[in-house]
Amino acid sequence: MMKQKLFFAVVLLLMLHTGLIAQPRQGQKAAEIALPTAKGDTLRLSSLRGKVVLLDFWASWCGPCRVANRGLSKIYSKFKDKGFEIFSVSFDADRSDWLNAVKQDKISWLQVNDPDINRSSVALYWEVYSIPTTYLIDRDGTLLAMDLEGKNLESALKKLIDK
């Protein structure tokens, strides 16, 4: 846990002092993410073009993430057959912790793992300073919103899917 906090502090300081990377903004195209699944295959975010996607950053050791998984389960079951997908990126260093959390939380959506949080180019690019962090991405791969949850996420999905 201390390792993760240190990582996020270092990333924050780098971002504040260098100003080299700007957080992805609404209207930009989502950058590619290609990471391993539990089976070891590589899954690419771009493979979901044509679907509305919630990009979700989380970890098994994050209490708020685990609570958020329950809410996401309800939303996922409601919209998954209507062109909605969740692409979750776990920052778990311990593979068994990650897989146990997926099982315990009954997660049925897409999961990938970025186990070396101290060297995560994904976390750095997406400026993930805290988790859970989410991005809503439209069918064309354009970023629409950040950190929507509950009724706000559901409302946005209804608008996007009923288009």
**Can you read off the two tokens belonging to residue 6?**
């240190």
Task: Tell me the per-residue pLDDT of 26-40, one tens digit each, with 9 for 90 and over.
Answer: 788 999 999 999 999
Please give the CATH number for the structural domain made up of 2-161. Answer: 3.40.30.10
Alpha helices (runs of H) in the chain, residue ranges in sequence order: 2-18, 63-79, 95-104, 121-125, 150-161
Q: Which residue has the higher pLDDT, 80 or 20?
A: 80
C-alpha span between 24 and 110 (Å, rounded): 22
Query: Could you tell me which of 81, 125, 127, 87 has the C-alpha nearest to residue 107?
Result: 87
In this prediction the pTM is 0.84
Task: Tell me the per-residue pLDDT of 42-65, one tens digit each, with 9 for 90 and over.
Answer: 999 999 999 999 999 999 999 999
Task: Tell me the per-residue pLDDT of 91-108, one tens digit each, with 9 for 90 and over.
Answer: 999 999 999 999 999 999
Q: Where along the chain do its domains lie?
A: 2-161
